[in-house]
């Protein structure tokens, strides 16, 4: 049966495919039908669903559609409004809800949207759950009798609850009273919450990307486009720049010198801080196959082990739970500090970076000295390339053997959210990477 879920929920262009009001309603009913059958609940025992969204225009369409579907299937709905994705995971646990829903296409532009689900523990659904829900979606859904329909209510204090939760991840003996922060919220879900968190901890705040209009989410701002943040940090003589994406589950750091520190540096910094402050009970750290070899060598040097997994925060979490890791993440900035959050949380990760800087009394740029990354280059091919195709297999072997001399890496993978094939080349020798790129362009006639 066709699985309607991608790497991170049900995704697509708004008002097309699965991202229409009709299909959102069907999806909501399918979820309740599946869980009612799985948990053997009766119509007299209602489910509770928590729904949050980011700031994109189509959220106004999907939120009531999903709500209608859940109510029609007999579930009560709690509406949070615009909040970061980790807020939904947190509030699902806090309210003892049966599951949570986040309406967001994360780092994509406004015309895309998505529907992400969390179970009662705040973790994303398993592949088995997704397949079973998809099976119901493609067949028939059962609605309840009128007397058993659910209700909906809006929870106005959810942002405040989440702010307090996030602040509790910052050490009580530290403050941000001498820190000047430029925060870029990508015109997204954290546009109110993020500045409030850092201000309440004492920082001086300069906001950019904090005026959402439904159409400007992630547009020339946020974690996927840091040019404005870099410029603002240096112009304002700020101590640090913090970039989130549209649903605030990603974090990218900009130093006071205007340089970008990606998710690998965030992982290295948090691991170092938690090791030095004896918060680590496990030596295991998780990253994806895209993370830099330099990060792996650094973690090994300080006595930690790096385990790699496939790209996607769901894969990161599965690996973390399997080996009892406390820190895991992606180069793109998805960081899961599992002692605090069951999903990627850009704000909690940012506070761990600030805690390290304040405790060590260093500049943000000093984080760069933790390790020297291998040169890496990324490129996108605007088509889906079959990884198992013989031409692709031959290319990988040719690049590894003849160009990278088996000392570097080439990774080719399909995008989980866009109609692209993503390629990463890594080597100690920058010239080898340039030669590898030319070989790729020649192979795929780019």
Are both 151 and 257 inside the same structural domain? Answer: no
Residue 4 counted as domain residue? no
Residue 436 counted as domain residue? yes
- Kind and range of the H or E element at 57? none
Per-residue b or e along 147-160, where b marks 16 or more CB atoms closer than 10 Å to that residue's CB: eebbebeebeebbe
Q: Is 220 left (phi over 0), alpha (psi -120 to 50) or beta?
A: left
pLDDT in tens, 370-399: 999 999 888 888 877 777 778 888 888 888
Are both 230 and 359 inside the same structural domain? Answer: yes
Q: What is the structure's pLDDT at 43? A: 47
Are both 310 and 225 inside the same structural domain? Answer: yes
Q: Which pLDDT band holds residue 412 (cuts at 50, 70, 90)? A: confident
Domain that holds residue 150: 10-156
Residue 2 counted as domain residue? no
Q: Which pLDDT band holds residue 446 (cuts at 50, 70, 90)? A: low
Say how far apart CA 249 and CA 53 lie, in whole Å: 13
pTM, 2 dp: 0.91
Q: What is the DSSP letter of 45?
A: S
- In the residue annotation, 106 being an active-site residue is answered as yes
Are both 95 and 190 inside the same structural domain? Answer: no
Say how far apart CA 320 and CA 180 lie, in whole Å: 34
* Residue tagged active-site, from 30, 106, 169, 427: 106
Structural domain total, the chain = 3
Question: Which of the listed residues 341, 370, 399 is the one where a domain comes to its end?
Answer: 370
**Mean pLDDT score, 24-35:** 96
**Mean pLDDT score, 206-233:** 98
Are both 16 and 132 inside the same structural domain? Answer: yes
- Kind and range of the H or E element at 10? strand 10-13
In the three-class reduction of DSSP (H, G, I as helix; E, B as strand; rest coil), residue 182 is classed as strand
């Amino acid at each position: 049966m066709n699985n309607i879920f991608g790497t991170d929920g049900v995704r697509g262009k708004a008002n097309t495919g699965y991202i229409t009001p009709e299909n959102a309603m069907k999806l909501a009913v399918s979820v309740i039908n599946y869980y009612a059958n799985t948990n053997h609940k009766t119509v007299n025992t209602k489910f509770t669903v928590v729904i949050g969204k980011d700031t994109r225009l189509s959220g106004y369409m999907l939120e009531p559609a999903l709500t209608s579907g859940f109510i029609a299937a007999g579930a009560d709905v709690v509406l949070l409004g615009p909040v970061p994705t980790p807020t939904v995971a947190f509030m699902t646990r806090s309210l003892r809800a049966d599951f949570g829903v986040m309406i967001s296409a994360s780092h994509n532009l406004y015309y895309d949207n998505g529907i992400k689900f969390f179970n009662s523990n705040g973790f994303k659904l398993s592949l088995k759950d997704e397949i079973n829900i998809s099976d119901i979606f493609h067949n028939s859904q059962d609605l309840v009798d009128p007397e058993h329909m659910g209700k909906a209510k809006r929870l106005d204090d959810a942002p405040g609850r989440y702010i307090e939760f996030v602040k509790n991840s910052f050490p009580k003996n530290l403050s941000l009273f001498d820190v000047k922060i430029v925060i870029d919220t990508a015109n997204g879900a954290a546009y109110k919450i993020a500045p409030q968190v850092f201000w309440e901890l004492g920082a001086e705040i300069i906001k950019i990307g904090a005026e959402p209009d439904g159409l400007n989410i992630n547009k020339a701002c946020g974690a996927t486009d840091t040019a404005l943040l870099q410029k603002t940090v240096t112009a304002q003589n700020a101590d640090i720049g913090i970039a989130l994406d549209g649903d605030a589950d990603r974090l990218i750091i900009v130093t006071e010198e205007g340089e970008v520190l990606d998710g690998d540096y965030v992982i290295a910094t948090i691991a170092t801080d938690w090791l030095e402050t004896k918060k680590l009970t496990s030596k295991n750290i998780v990253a994806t196959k895209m993370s830099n070899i330099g990060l792996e060598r650094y973690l090994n040097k300080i006595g930690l082990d790096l385990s790699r997994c496939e790209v996607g925060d769901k894969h990161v979490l599965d690996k973390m739970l399997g080996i009892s890791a406390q820190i895991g993440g992606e180069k793109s900035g998805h960081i899961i500090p599992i002692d605090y959050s069951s999903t990627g949380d850009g704000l909690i990760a940012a506070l761990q970076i600030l805690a390290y800087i304040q405790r060590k009394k260093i500049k943000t740029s000093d984080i760069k000295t933790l390790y020297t990354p291998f040169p890496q280059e990324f490129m996108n091919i605007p088509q889906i390339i079959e990884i198992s195709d013989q031409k692709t297999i031959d290319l990988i072997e040719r690049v590894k053997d003849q160009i990278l001399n088996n000392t570097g890496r080439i990774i080719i993978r399909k995008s989980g959210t866009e109609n692209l094939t993503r390629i990463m080349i890594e080597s100690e020798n920058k010239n080898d990477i340039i030669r590898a790129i030319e070989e790729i362009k020649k192979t795929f006639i780019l």
